[in-house]
Structures are given as C-alpha cells and as structure tokens.
A = this chain, B = another copy of it.
Amino acid sequence: MDKIPYKIYLTEKELPDTWFNVRAAMKELPESFINPKTLKPCMADDLRPVFCEELIAQELNVTDRHITIPGEIMDFYKMYRPSPLVRAYNLEKELDTPAKIYYKFEGNNTSGSHKLNSAAAQVYYAKKQGLTHLTTETGAGQWGTALAMASAFFGLDLTVFMVKVSAQQKPHRKALIQTYGGKVIASPSDTTEVGRKILAENPHTGGSLGCAISEAVEVALKNDKCRYVLGSVLNHVVLHQSIIGMETKTALEKYDIKPDIIIGCAGGGSNLGGLISPFIADKIEGKNNIEFIAVEPASCPSLTRGKYAYDFGDTGKMTPLMKMYTLGSGFMPSPNHSGGLRYHGMSPVVSKLYHDGYMTARSVEQTKVFEAAKIFARTEGTLPAPESSHAIRAAIDEAIKCRETGESKNIVFGCTGTGYFDMTAYTAYNEGTMADYIPTDEDLQKGFASLPNVN
C-alpha cells in the first residue's frame, strides 16, 4: 500500500452521482411532521405554498436509498467538488498521537462552507419548476452567500432577509451576497406586513432569525412564482448534504481506510446528517461499528440537554411541527456565542438516530473550541470556521485519548468551512475577552415553556 497522501481527491469519474437518503435505511422512521393548525400529519399539499414540488417529494421520500443527482447540479458541483479528504499529518505530529486523523474540508468555495451543496440543488429545482424568485433569511451569512451564488448561476432572483444586526456587523458578507446579485434587506424591514408590525412595536430592534424567516415566508406566499428556501434542518437538506458522506466514503474505501470514529459539528444538523448518512446506514445493518459523535456548543445544547418533542422549526412558529431534540423555539442562546450552531432544535433525522442510540453527543465551551481552532490553523494551515472547530475540538480530544491508550484509531471529522468572516470572534479569543456561557437549568426551563401543547 502506498503512503496515504496529504489530500485525497476523487477524480471526476469517481464522483458519486447519487445522494444517499438515510431514512430509507432506518429501522424506525422519524415521526411525521404535523400541521399545527389541523394537528394532522403534514402532506405535500400542506407544504406546497411555501416549498418547491421536487423538494417536497424529497422531503417526504422514505423509500429510495439512492437519489440520482441531476446532470445540471453535477455540473455545478464540479466547479468546487470533490472537496478534499485531508490526512492531518501535521496535527497528528503536533499531538504526538498514534491516531490517524482525516478531515473532509468543505471550505474551498466562495461561500466558505458546505451550504452550497444544498443551495445548488434547491435553486436548480426551483428553476425547473418555472419559478423566477426565491426568498430566504440569513444570520451569519454563509447560507445567504451560497444561495446568491447558486441563484446567479441558474439565473433566478433572490431576496435575502438578513438579521439587521448581522447586516450592520458584517457589511462584507452583505457585499458578497450583493456581488452575486442577491438583494439584501435588513430585517425587520418596512417591505412586509410582519416587518412593519414589529418595527411599530419596537423601532430600534436589531432583528432576529425568527423575524427574518417570517418576512421571507410572507414574500414567498404572496408571489406564485416565488418560494421560500431553507438551509438546514429539513430532510431534503440533509439529503443534499449526503454528498459529503458519499465522497468521504468513496475516498476512504479507495485507500482501504476503515474509520473508527466520525465526528461532526451540529447546529441544525444538516452537515452532520449528510456526513454520516452512508456510514450510519451500514451501522444499522451491522456492517460497521463506527462511533458517531455530534458536537454542539455548550451554550445551545439541544441534543445533550434538550427534550425529544414536537416543536416549531422557527421562533415565529410558522413551520410545521417536527419531532426533534429541542430547547424550545423560544430559547435564546447567549449573545456572546460566536458563529452559527445557535439553532434551538436539531434535524429530525439526526434526532431520531441519536434517540435510537446510533450516535453519541457532547457539548463544548467556546474558548476550548477556539483553542482547538488555533492549533488546527497553525499546524494544518487552514483557518477553520468556529462551527467546524467544534468538531476539531472533539477530534483533538479523541486523538489525545489515543495517545494515552496507545490506540491508533482512524478519526474522521467534517471541517465545514473557513473562518474568514469570523475574525471578530478570533480577535476576542486572541485578546482574552471571549467568555463561556452555559445555560442554567432555569434558562432551559424558560425555553421548554415555549414548546407547543401537542407533546
């Protein structure tokens, strides 16, 4: 066997041409979505006013294990995929560990993260359906950028409601979306009814994701050629992100590497779900015994301290009810939390797999996360996003355990993106002004109080 290279790139011919639908491999399916008005299971008709046809079909598909990626999407993927599977030789050396560490790096595209994998698919299907316009919300801005790139490529108009405080604090993110032709509206705005109502009540608010979602959905509902798109949590987003897992599996098999541990950071769960999908299907069938680890921020611990319950997907309570691990849609993470991963809930698929014992979860504090990020940046040469650095923290901790036990485990983790637009957080860490925050039980009770009565 040749030495494993620093970076394993698949050739264009080796690229997977299907997404992996993990639900088709699960022994028990996640619970159905519920329409909050009728309290009956959600069907395609309930979703149609807001979402595209093909995405609804994917959302509800629990039977097809492999779903073919259309050629037009493959052509888009080929601009920035395959992403490299990197052997972290330098990090291993730094940690003096017998473990072998690999990471799948999704940051080598202009949006800076894995979000582009689903943006490309969602925009393509919207165009195919004859739509001309999409709306979405964005907080940190990775999703808004990804969607702007895909919309520019396929020729659709895009309106991004950007949380006002983010639009002010991250003018460069806003400029990037605009450079790709996206229209950015600071939310709350006077362009929607819900926005005007919020502004009348609280003229100086900095906005929130919940409010931005409400504005984006309102615009979509009023225009027959327009739909709303979402960058995480939902089944079809996890499906699109399975391209990460499919490529990772192909690359590992190419060099006959059998992973012992697979680690992903978890916010809404789409990156983690996509990374583990094909591997966990094998585990369900007894073909491997990989340890899957979800890593979440201690400040927003939905898996490790949340309830498995029906909840709204958004703070505005406009979505169907989903059975998932949640802190309650009214839970507010600390404002000093850096980066993403501040979602109150967790993908229903990931939640179910966790609930059924196929994976474990842990939470980490942000100063420990940035400590890991800086070790990684120095030794591996890539500045990671704060989100991705949660996975790095756990990978380093596992590698140190191996040093102590002498085990040479194969550790694989997902490195979802770059930290170029997170320098404010790095500066806070460099200057020692970054604080940790762990919600008290009382804080959590306040969030749980917002759970709907259906549970």
Contact = CB atoms under 8 A, between A and B. Distances in A.
Contact of A175 (B90, B110, B382, B430): B430
A175 B382 CA distance: 15
A172 B6 CA distance: 29
A289 to B, nearest CB: 31
What interface size band does chain A fall in? Answer: 35 or more
B110 A383 contact: yes
A79 B6 contact: yes
Interface stretch (A28-36, A211-219, A387-395, A420-428): A420-428
Interface string A38-70: 000000000000000000000000000000000
A350 to B, nearest CB: 28
A153 interface: yes
Contacts of A421: 420
B6 A11 contact: no
Nearest to A80: B381
Interface secondary structure of A, over-half rule: helix
Counted per complex, copies of this chain come to 2
A76 B90 CA distance: 9
B175 A109 contact: no
Contact of A374 (B79, B171, B179, B380): B179
A9 interface: yes
A56 to B, nearest CB: 27
Interface in A91-135: 108-110, 112
Nearest to A107: B108
A66 to B, nearest CB: 23
Contacts of A178: 427, 430
A172 B149 CA distance: 23
B423 A176 contact: yes
Contacts of A354: none
Across chains A and B, which 5 residue pairs bring their CB atoms closest together, nearest first?
A172-B423, A5-B12, A6-B78, A175-B423, A79-B381
Given A152-B378, A179-B430, 13 more contacts: A5-B78, A6-B79, A7-B12, A79-B380, A79-B382, A80-B381, A152-B377, A153-B378, A153-B381, A171-B427, A175-B423, A176-B423, A178-B430
